[in-house]
Amino acid sequence: MTSTGHLEQQLRTLRLSETAYQLPEMITEAERQDASYQEFLARLLNYEQKRREEKRIERNMKWAAFPFHKTLDKFDVQEQTALSQKQLNQLRELTWLDQLYNLILLGPPGVGKTFLAVGLGMEAIYQGYQVSFLPMGDLVHILKTEDVIRKSQTRKKRILKSDLVIIDDLMYMAMNQQEANLFFQLINELYDQSTLIFTSNKGPKDWGQLLGDEGITTAILDRILQRAEVIHMDGDSYRMKYRQSIFEGENDETDPAKSVQN
């Protein structure tokens, strides 16, 4: 008679550690229900598979470093006239990701650019892809410090391994020559191996000014826009529209989002 302790050990050696942990319970359950050998084995393998998938998702979500976790089920298409339900469904199918087709989400603050990017990123993880989410400021910091800070080095490696790289609030700040060069190098490395999502409140035409170098800008733009879908997100700021107000009927008249650049 083999003790479950020994079996658990063997399962661990065979890298079936999730099942090892659950084994005593599964045996008891199978005995109680008089399950067949085949049924028992199927349950065991299904359990291992399910737990592995859950752990993969967990690990990749951590890797991605999303600012929040909110799935596209919560995305209200009625509020976003730039996208129909059909188009949103199409985006969710992620064929563009396989085809290395970049997405550029443009629009003023509060219209849901970051939400849409995060939602698509999460969807990609569920479907088996690796994703990195980077606010532009963080990205520049990572690129500038990858030689001296280990954490930056790790993140840079992850970016390069990602199937989808989301850069949030692209060009919200002016970059100096060194930063622009580093950024261009990265885009160059990612080009042809990863798909990109950019969110920005400025259109590609204005990016040149911020990069301060027409040559580099044109090169970046060529690369990115060659295969890209540009989605102009519009409408009122969702944030402002639904913010809680202490005054009755105050919400719509003065919308600070319209005059403030974030």
Q: Which does 115 bind (CB under 5 to 8 A by kind): ligand ADP, Mg ion, none?
A: ligand ADP
112 binds ligand ADP (CB under 6 A): yes
Q: Does 113 bind ligand ADP (CB under 6 A)?
A: yes
CB of 227 to Mg ion, least distance (A): 23
Q: Does 114 bind ligand ADP (CB under 6 A)?
A: yes
The window from 15-23, 112-120, 147-155, 205-213 that contacts ligand ADP (CB under 6 A) reads: 112-120
Which residue's Cβ has the minimum distance to ligand ADP?
Answer: 112
Kindly calculate the radius of gyration of the chain based on its CA atoms and give it in whole angstroms. 24
DSSP string covering the chain, please? ---HHHHHHHHHHTT-HHHHHHHHHHHHHHHHHT--HHHHHHHHHHHHHHHHHHHHHHHHHHHHT-SS---GGG--GGG-TTS-HHHHHHHHHTHHHHTT-EEEEE-STTSSHHHHHHHHHHHHHHTT--EEEEEHHHHHHHHHHTTT-HHHHHHHHHHHH-SEEEEETTTSS---HHHHHHHHHHHHHHTTTSEEEEEESS-HHHHHHHHT-HHHHHHHHHHHHHTEEEEE--SS-HHHHSS--SSTT-TTT--HHHH---
* Residues touching ligand ADP, count (CB under 6 A): 16
Can you tell me the distance from the alpha carbon of 251 to that of 249, in angstroms, rounded to the nearest whole number? 6
CB 238 → ligand ADP: shortest distance, Å?
3
Write down the least CB distance from residue 179 to ligand ADP, Å. Answer: 22
Q: Per-residue contact track with Mg ion, 43 to 82, x per CB under 5 A? A: ----------------------------------------
Give the closest residue to 107 by CA, choosing from 127, 143, 133, 81. Answer: 81
Rounded CA-CA distance 221/225 in Å is 6
Question: In the set 19, 97, 110, 124, which binds ligand ADP (CB under 6 A)?
Answer: 110
Residue 54 near ligand ADP by CB under 6 A: no
Asked if 114 touches Mg ion (CB under 5 A), the answer is: yes
79 binds, among Mg ion, ligand ADP, none (CB under 5 to 8 A by kind): ligand ADP
Q: Does 133 bind ligand ADP (CB under 6 A)?
A: no
- Count residues contacting Mg ion (CB under 5 A)? 1
Asked if 75 touches ligand ADP (CB under 6 A), the answer is yes
Minimum distance between the CB of residue 112 and Mg ion, rounded to whole angstroms? 8
Positions in the binding site for ligand ADP (CB under 6 A): 74-76, 79-80, 107, 109-115, 199, 238-239
Positions in the binding site for Mg ion (CB under 5 A): 114
